[in-house]
């Protein structure tokens, strides 16, 4: 993984950004792609068992209510991948509602799941300098370092 070129890493990130477009989240669409013994993918969503994607009540949820019910892309990927996560690489990409790619890192909750699943490398597009998630992302990256997970950010 480490020997891969920047363009290889961007290919994985762009695949995750493509998957992010499956998300119906009105604010940030996040996608994740796993490359290991097999491929897996995830995107942020409210499970259809709670609200069907066409349920108009979703639009009435507050931001906090929506976040509380949302399965993050990273966890969705881990559920999809099953036991294929050991030593694998997770690419994460996000897009704004207009489709513009944006840098991101996993939240602390997802970092805990990623560490538990035995992921070896996490690859993201470089984070923006300013974000309300900045401190949370920094904590996730500290946890990855402690757990021996390579966190790779790819700049422009
Ligand atoms: Zn998360």
Q: Please give the CATH number for the structural domain made up of 6-44+73-154.
A: 3.40.140.10
- What separation in Å is there between the alpha carbon of 65 and the centre of ligand 1? 15
pLDDT-derived band at 12, boundaries 50, 70, 90: very high
For residue 56, the 8-state DSSP code is: G
Task: Name the nearest CA neighbour of 8 among 133, 146, 152, 139.
Answer: 152
Kindly give the distance from the C-alpha atom of residue 147 to the centroid of ligand 1, in angstroms, as a whole number.
Answer: 17
Q: Predicted confidence band at 3 (pLDDT cuts at 50, 70, 90)?
A: low
User: pLDDT category, 27, cuts 50, 70, 90?
Assistant: confident
Domain segments of the chain as ranges: 6-44+73-154
How far, in Å, CA of 79 to CA of 35, rounded? Answer: 14
User: Residue 119: pLDDT band by 50, 70, 90 thresholds?
Assistant: very high
pLDDT band for 2, please (50, 70, 90 cuts): low
| pLDDT for the residue numbered 37 | 86
The 10 Å CB-count burial string (b at 16+, else e) for 26-42 is eebbbbbbbbbeeebbb
pLDDT band at 15 (very low <50, low <70, confident <90, very high): very high
What digits encode the pLDDT tens for the residues 49-89? 999 989 999 999 999 999 999 999 999 999 999 989 999 99
Q: Distance from the CA of 56 to the center of ligand 1, in angstroms?
A: 25
Percent of the chain clearing pLDDT 70 (strictly above):
98
Of 18, 75, 78, 140, nearest in space to 153 by CA: 140
**CA pair distance 140, 90, nearest whole angstrom:** 14
Q: How far apart are CA 15 and CA 70, in angstroms?
A: 21
Given a cut of 80, is residue 17 above it in pLDDT? Answer: yes
The two beta strands, 89-95 and 121-125, are: parallel
Answer whether residue 129 shows pLDDT above 60.
yes
> Looking at the predicted structure, is the pLDDT value of residue 156 above 90?
no
Cα 37 to ligand 1 centre (Å): 23
Could you tell me the distance, in angstroms and rounded to a whole number, from the CA of residue 54 to the centre of ligand 1? 23
123-149 CB burial, b ≥16 within 10 A, e <16: bbbebeeeeeeeebbeebbebbeeeeb
């Amino acid at each position: 993984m480490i020997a891969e070129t920047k363009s290889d890493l961007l290919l994985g990130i762009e695949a995750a950004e493509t998957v992010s477009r499956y998300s119906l989240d009105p604010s940030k669409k996040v996608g994740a792609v796993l490359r290991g013994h097999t491929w897996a993918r995830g995107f942020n969503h409210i499970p259809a068992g709670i609200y069907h994607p066409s349920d108009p009540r979703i639009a009435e949820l507050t931001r906090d209510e929506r976040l509380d019910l949302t399965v993050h892309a990273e966890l969705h990927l881990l559920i999809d991948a099953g036991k294929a996560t050991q030593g694998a690489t997770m690419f994460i990409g996000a897009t704004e509602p207009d489709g513009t790619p944006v840098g991101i890192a996993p939240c602390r909750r997802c970092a805990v799941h990623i560490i538990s699943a035995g992921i070896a490398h996490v690859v993201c597009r470089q984070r923006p300098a300013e974000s309300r998630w900045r401190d949370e992302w920094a904590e996730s990256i500290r946890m990855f370092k402690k757990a021996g997970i390579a966190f790779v950010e790819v700049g422009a």
